[in-house]
Structure 1
Amino acid sequence: MNQKLLLEAINQTMPFGKYKGRKLLELPEPYLVWFHKNGFPKGKLGEQLALMYEVKLNGLEGMLRPLLQNQPK
C-alpha cells in the first residue's frame, strides 16, 4: 500500500450527501457498509471510500486517526 495514497484517502473530504464536509476516515461505518453493498462511486473517490471501508472493517481507524490533518487539538 502506498503511504501517500492512504494519507490522501483519510484526509479526503466527503464531497456530497449527508456527511458532506467530513473526512473520509470520520465517516460512520454503517455509511461505508451501505456503499459496499450498493456500490462505491466510480473513480478515485470510490476507491478511497472502499479503502476506508477496509480500514474500518479491520479495526485500523484508531491507528490512523493521528494522521488526520486539521483536527482539533
Structure 2
Amino acid sequence: MNSQDLKKLVTFAMPFGRYKGRVIADLPGHYLNWFAREGFPNGELGRLLALMQEIDHNGLKPLLDPLRK
C-alpha cells in the first residue's frame, strides 16, 4: 500500500456490479466481505477492494474523511 492508494479509495468508482459508479470507499461492508470470501478481482481494482475491506473490517473508515475534500 502507498499513500496514493488511500486517495484512490475515495475517487475510484466501482466499474461493474450492483454498486457500479459508487466510489470504493462508499461500498457497504457486506459487499466488501463478499469479495473477501469469494475472491477479489485481479489487478488494481482487487488490490483496492482488499485494502478497503481491511479498513472497513477494522473500523478505520473515518480515516478517509480528510481525503474526500
TM > 0.5 fold call: yes
- Output the CA distance in 2 between the equivalents of 1:3 and 1:19: 25
Cα RMSD for the two superposed structures: 1.3
Partner in structure 1 of residue 20 of structure 2: 20
Q: Map of 1:23-62 to 2, 5 A cutoff?
A: 23-62=23-62
Superposition misfits of 4+ residues, deviation over 4 angstroms: none
- Contact 1:12-1:24 within 8 A present in 2 as well: yes
Q: Percent identity?
A: 49
Gaps of 5+ in 1: none
Amino acid at match of 2:67: L
- Output the CA distance in 1 between the equivalents of 2:15 and 2:52: 15
Partner in structure 2 of residue 64 of structure 1: 64
Amino acid at match of 2:27: L
Rg larger in structure: 1
- Contact 2:6-2:64 within 8 A present in 1 as well: no
- Contact 1:32-1:49 within 8 A present in 2 as well: yes
Give the Å deviation of 1:9: 2.7
Give the Å deviation of 1:58: 1.1
Gaps of 5+ in 2: none
